[in-house]
Structure 1
């Protein structure tokens, strides 16, 4: 437990973190990768380059400082981080290494403002957080490994099928190389995969939503090919998957993770709002529901740039034709106007309010940050209770809405 003086010192740094938090985390990552370059094999270097990881960490450190007297209120956030850490096989001893770099960074960035008492307080605070996270992650590891057909660590999977779904998105069907069964994932969960990238000289992990219904045989991930006009790290792994990974190639994967899932026992209307490749977890959800005997109303509103980048549209049309409980509405930002079955422009709640604004409905949002923020704000403006809205941002979590 932290002492009262230590808590006071931590809280006193909140204004500094609000103003200089990103500068601190930028320094932290630069320091850590310079002195421990082996950690580049664990972190997404694309998110390092675009600044998302630094921003996400700065927001997390600030939230922890703000709630230092009762960090348990952050449990939903910590649970999300724990899921991500266990999918990446983070180990307890790595917390000490990261902690040393964080405290050193505080001292180096704050300079004279970093008194010995302040550094001691943050050291104690970090140890408290590390202990909490290590215990939480140990529970997650044990729970995952105890599942039927579960496994520990990274497992080899073979690509047995590769399907082009649109101009940008390709699906990869991953079968366990050992021929054994795989754990049934929960619709909406993601799979962490790891590949060695020759052009970077390091291994890189990425998380991709599982786009298939739960089964004991294979996982399907549907990956958008990201193009970086600046020829940076962004999209390095997605490009490698599209260009270098062929049928017969192998990848490493950890057990499915994530809590962006829905209650299959609920009878409340299910409203799905997706932008771009944010459709992938919903493909798993709806495909799973088509295999069940139910009458739950499902409305799915999807927005993307054009028909050329709209993946799985044939499957969605088939589901709508064969299931009375399912309705699919599409927005194309660019459209010639000849397709009367789609709406033009970006997703607009006003145009579909009769379909999506339903009593007791549960709303799931998935896509890039601007899409989620706009859809969330619009739903709130129409009177939807925020407790009924759930969202998943691809990449480091920087959306703070609830």
Structure 2
């Protein structure tokens, strides 16, 4: 338990975190990754380069300090962190390394006059409290996955049963347990993590499960990013019958039981988790509006799949496609340009009493989040998945809660 003095000191540093938290965390990451190479596989270097990871952690540290007296006010943030950590197999031995680098960054960035021994002691105690909470929750999650039918702890070997090109940019990989054993179930919207060795370097990446649970295989659908180290490796070098190291499914951006009409909105590769959600939703009686935005038809993955489902479920499923820059051959779409507020209103159900799930590129998500608020969809019925602080995504709508990781 933190002492009253510790809590008072931590709360006194909130203004410093508000103004300089990102710089502090950037310094923390620089130290951590330079001096402790064993933890590098746990971090996506692309997110390091563009600052997303520093912003996300800075936001988390700030939220922890603000709610140090009432940790229950952190809401879904703890669950998001736990799911992320479990997906990458973060272990108790990683926490002392992170704690030492964080306290060092506080001292070096703020300076000894501000980061006094008392401040370092208070933040050390606060960090240990959080570490103990996370370690306990993560161990519970690891144990639950390991004990469930078809479950496992750490990595498990999976064989690439099929590799299927879905669009000009996206390829699907169908993965089956190499040992032929049972397969752990998952919730639509969850993801798995891969552990790969690329040019002698270990890397780990999360990918959404893009097909509904079927008990015998997982499917991930990977977009080739122009400078994506892992995505290009998967596209160019991983072939059928190869084996991959896979961590068990995780994630809290999942389809919840409801009878309300369901609206699934995606942009680009953000379509992947909505596919599993759609298949499961169609087994119920709830109406579904599926809205997808792509640059053009060549990069629109899974269109045939969605069209086929709509043909089989004409009363339940309505689908809408928006192409930013349609090609001459892209005649079958509902709108050209961006998915703006007017088009979204047109494609949505007549009532705002709906459940909305959306994800895609950051600008797309920022626009959709703003449109949904303007349209009047209740914030509690809007769910999304995003890497980074919610305020960064919705500075025009700060009251919107962040869901997902």
Q: TM-score, normalised by structure 1?
A: 0.93
- Separation in 2 of the partners of 1:16 and 1:222? 41
Question: What does residue 23 of structure 1 align with?
Answer: 23
Question: What does residue 238 of structure 1 align with?
Answer: 231
Deviation of residue 15 (structure 1)?
A: 1.2
Trace 1:212-361 onto structure 2 (pairs within 5 A): 212-228=211-227, 235-264=228-257, 266-290=258-282, 292=283, 294-323=284-313, 324-336=315-327, 339-357=331-349, 358-361=351-354
Q: Is the 8 A contact 1:42 1:204 kept in 2?
A: yes
- Structure 1 unaligned segments of length 5 or more: list them: 229-234
- Separation in 2 of the partners of 1:172 and 1:115? 52
- Separation in 1 of the partners of 2:327 and 2:246? 41
Aligned residue for 1:140, secondary structure, equals helix
- Separation in 1 of the partners of 2:189 and 2:145? 16
Q: How many residues align?
A: 389
Q: Is the 8 A contact 2:266 2:293 kept in 1?
A: yes
Deviation of residue 75 (structure 1)?
A: 3.7
Question: What does residue 161 of structure 2 align with?
Answer: 160
- Separation in 1 of the partners of 2:280 and 2:202? 33
Q: Is the 8 A contact 2:153 2:248 kept in 1?
A: yes
Deviation of residue 288 (structure 1)?
A: 3.0
Question: What does residue 394 of structure 2 align with?
Answer: none
Deviation of residue 336 (structure 1)?
A: 4.4
> After the TM superposition, which segments of 4 or more aligned residues of structure 1 sit over 6 Å from their partners?
none
Aligned residue for 1:188, secondary structure, equals coil
Question: What does residue 231 of structure 1 align with?
Answer: none
- Structure 2 unaligned segments of length 5 or more: list them: 392-399
Deviation of residue 103 (structure 1)?
A: 0.5
Question: What does residue 96 of structure 2 align with?
Answer: 96
Aligned residue for 1:73, secondary structure, equals helix
- Separation in 2 of the partners of 1:32 and 1:281? 32
- Separation in 2 of the partners of 1:354 and 1:346? 13
Aligned residue for 1:187, secondary structure, equals coil
Deviation of residue 104 (structure 1)?
A: 1.0
- Separation in 2 of the partners of 1:189 and 1:368? 18
Q: TM-score, normalised by structure 2?
A: 0.93
1:139 aligns with 2:144: no
Residue 383 (structure 1) aligned to one of 373, 376, 382: 376
Question: What does residue 182 of structure 1 align with?
Answer: 183
